[in-house]
Amino acid sequence: MNIEDTLFVETESSLIKKHKQLLWENRNDFIMIDLGRDIPIFKWFISNKSTWENYTVMNKTECLLNQIAAAHKQFPKDSVKDMLTDAAKRMRNISKGGMISNAGYEFIIDKAIELKDVTDVLPNTTIRYLKNPYFVWDKGDFENRKEIYRTHLNVVINRGISEINYELIRTILIDYDLNQKKMTKTILKDATRLSLSTIKNYLKNYPELNEIYQSIKDNSGTAKQRKQKEYNANKKRVA
């Protein structure tokens, strides 16, 4: 079987390789890049707080090392072996009972590399914001880079959510049939499936949205509501 004929799955490493030039050219400016959409990837993670019971060690070790190798089948053999060796060390640290010897890990790693082109692996998560591994850190920031990454990610995610909510509210308002019931914040809440407090905040913080809302509110309503509005207006003039 040719490697070109096998199914590839994206990983963070493959995305970094694919966007290497962009990441490198922006190493002084961007701590991460926006891929524009959620990309399905395979990602492995071994928590130091986890513990693998002795009766699960062999199966979990073989399974995960096989998956890591298969997910990186397009990488050079030496690079894949380095990844697997690093992963195996982490697995050993959380495995009870010393079930696998050093030679045993070597055998499992070599077998995973041998079978990487025919082992199936599927995406298990998605990624949209890709860390820039070439980013040039200030000396004072390097030690806190994980926290800085996390803070930056939260900012861009929240900004993205704000843009989505803004467009959703705006679209619902513009497309609203003026012959339906008079527009209210409650109707807008139900149509967007956002909370009432969220609707109020957006109308307060975005004057252009509030202007559209007020216009739709003033010009919408059933025939009965319009008639009642006209009656109330005339009543005020007489008074």
Give the tens place of pLDDT for each residue, 157-177.
777 778 888 999 999 999 998
Asked if residue 88 is part of any domain, the answer here is yes
Same domain? For 112 and 35 the reply is yes
Q: Which pLDDT belongs to residue 138?
A: 85
Same domain? For 15 and 122 the reply is yes
Same domain? For 180 and 128 the reply is no
DSSP state of 37: E
Same domain? For 87 and 10 the reply is yes
Rounded to the nearest 5°, which phi and psi values hold at 33? -120, 150
If phi > 0 it is left, if psi is from -120 to 50 it is alpha, else beta; for residue 187 that is: alpha
Kindly give the pairing relationship between strand 125-131 and strand 32-41.
antiparallel
Q: Which pLDDT belongs to residue 3?
A: 43
| Sign, Cα dihedral of 213, 215, 216, 221 | positive
Same domain? For 123 and 219 the reply is no
Q: Which pLDDT belongs to residue 232?
A: 56
DSSP state of 52: B
Asked if residue 235 is part of any domain, the answer here is no
Residue ranges in the chain whose pLDDT is less than 50: 1-6, 231
- Please enumerate in sequence order all residues whose Cβ is within 8 A of that of 196, keeping only pairs 6 or more positions apart, or say none: 185, 186, 189
- Please enumerate in sequence order all residues whose Cβ is within 8 A of that of 183, keeping only pairs 6 or more positions apart, or say none: 173, 176, 213, 216, 217, 220
Q: Which pLDDT belongs to residue 1?
A: 40
Q: Which pLDDT belongs to residue 194?
A: 86
Asked if residue 34 is part of any domain, the answer here is yes
Q: Which pLDDT belongs to residue 95?
A: 92
Distances (CA, A) of 113 to 11, 14, 87, 108, 191: 17, 17, 13, 9, 53
Residue that finishes a domain, picked among 121, 136, 151: 136
Same domain? For 16 and 47 the reply is yes
Residue that finishes a domain, picked among 76, 101, 136: 136
Q: How many domains does the chain have?
A: 2
Tokens representing 161 are 């959510």
Same domain? For 163 and 109 the reply is no
Asked if residue 234 is part of any domain, the answer here is no
Q: Which pLDDT belongs to residue 5?
A: 41
| Sign, Cα dihedral of 23, 24, 25, 27 | positive
Same domain? For 128 and 171 the reply is no
Same domain? For 86 and 34 the reply is yes
Q: Which pLDDT belongs to residue 139?
A: 81
Host domain of residue 61:
3-136
Q: Which pLDDT belongs to residue 145?
A: 85
Q: Which pLDDT belongs to residue 233?
A: 55
List, for residues 118-161, the tens digit of each pLDDT value: 999 999 999 999 999 999 988 888 888 888 888 888 887 777 77
Nearest to 12, CA basis, from 39, 48, 46, 47: 39
77-109 CB burial, b ≥16 within 10 A, e <16: eeebbebbeebbebbbeebeeebbeeeebeebb
Same domain? For 128 and 53 the reply is yes
Asked if residue 233 is part of any domain, the answer here is no
